[in-house]
Amino acid sequence: MQEETQHQMPLIGDAAPEFIAHTTNGNIKFPSDYAGKWVILFSHPADFTPVCTTEFMTFQSMLPELQKLNTDIIGLSVGTLTGHLAWIESIKNLEYNNWKNMEITFPIIDDINMTVAKKYGMIHSHASDNKTVRAVFFIDPKGIIRAILYYPLTTGRNFDEIKRVLIALQTTDAFGVSTPADWQPGKDVVVPAPATTKEMAERLNTKDKNLDVKSWYLTMKKMPNEMIASKLYNKSVTKNLKK
């Protein structure tokens, strides 16, 4: 039986693995070049492929709003720099989802030797030995991995979910709260549970009208869009948050 080489993927809470790479926007040293910013580092299986093309155009359409959330995007595949450049040039001639003449402006890493892909556990051998799966790493301004999503080669990503996860993570950092199942900006958030009997009694008898105490350990708090936008967004995009 042939022995397989295993590559340990980094985990949530780990420091993002460091690397230096050539990209379509020049050389980058990661994560130090992005200190103080959130980064969505994602992998795609290959250039000139249909699902990846739709994903790249969707990421590019989201980029202005993500940048207002202090977030940059970096793409990666097991491909060459010349291949990446030729592909993004061809995308300019495509029309998809009413987008056309689209220029891909975020960097795409040349990872023909799979150096970065292996550091991040993006090669799943039972899916492909030479193509990355559709991975998404959310990396915070301190260079810490905060969330990870994986999709198979055949399934395009849910970009509403990518945006939702990013805003949820930033909301947690800004307000010290958690977000419940299916949370969307503007919906109630979860406040930390009491840690002592005194705090439990205070929670159960609270007069705070912004709190919805369902149990001593489950309390919801109102957090309107405007409150989130005041910390996360520039004022110009407050109106774009979902109601």
Question: If you average pLDDT over residues 69-98, what whole number do you get?
Answer: 95
Task: State residue 130's pLDDT score.
Answer: 72
Could you read off the pLDDT of 50-79 as tens digits, one per residue? 999 999 999 999 999 999 999 999 999 888
Domain 170-240 in the same topology as domain 19-157: no
Higher per-residue confidence, 35 vs 126: 35
Share of the chain above pLDDT 70, in %: 93
pTM value is: 0.90
Catalytic residue among 21, 52, 73, 189: 52
What average pLDDT is seen over the chain? Answer: 91
Task: State residue 2's pLDDT score.
Answer: 41
Give the CATH H-level superfamily of domain 19-157.
Answer: Glutaredoxin (3.40.30.10)
Could you read off the pLDDT of 207-228 as tens digits, one per residue? 999 999 999 999 999 999 999 9
Higher per-residue confidence, 133 vs 6: 133
Peptide bond into 185 cis (omega under 30): no
Question: If you average pLDDT over residues 73-99, what whole number do you get?
Answer: 95
Return the domain boundaries, the chain. Answer: 19-157, 170-240
Per-residue 3-state assignment (H helix, E strand, C coil) for 9-77: CCCCCCECCCEEEEEECEEEEECHHHCCCEEEEEECCCCCCHHHHHHHHHHHHHHHHHHHCCEEEEEEE
What number does CATH give the domain 170-240? 3.30.1020
Question: If you average pLDDT over residues 21-38, what whole number do you get?
Answer: 97
Q: Is 91 part of the annotated catalytic residue set?
A: no
Question: If you average pLDDT over residues 154-158, what whole number do you get?
Answer: 95
Question: Do 146 and 16 meet the contact criterion of CB atoms below 8 Å apart?
Answer: no
The pLDDT-based confidence of 128 (bands split at 50, 70, 90) is confident
> Is the pLDDT reported for residue 240 higher than 50?
no
The pLDDT-based confidence of 7 (bands split at 50, 70, 90) is low
CA angle 137, 140, 144 (to 5 degrees): 75
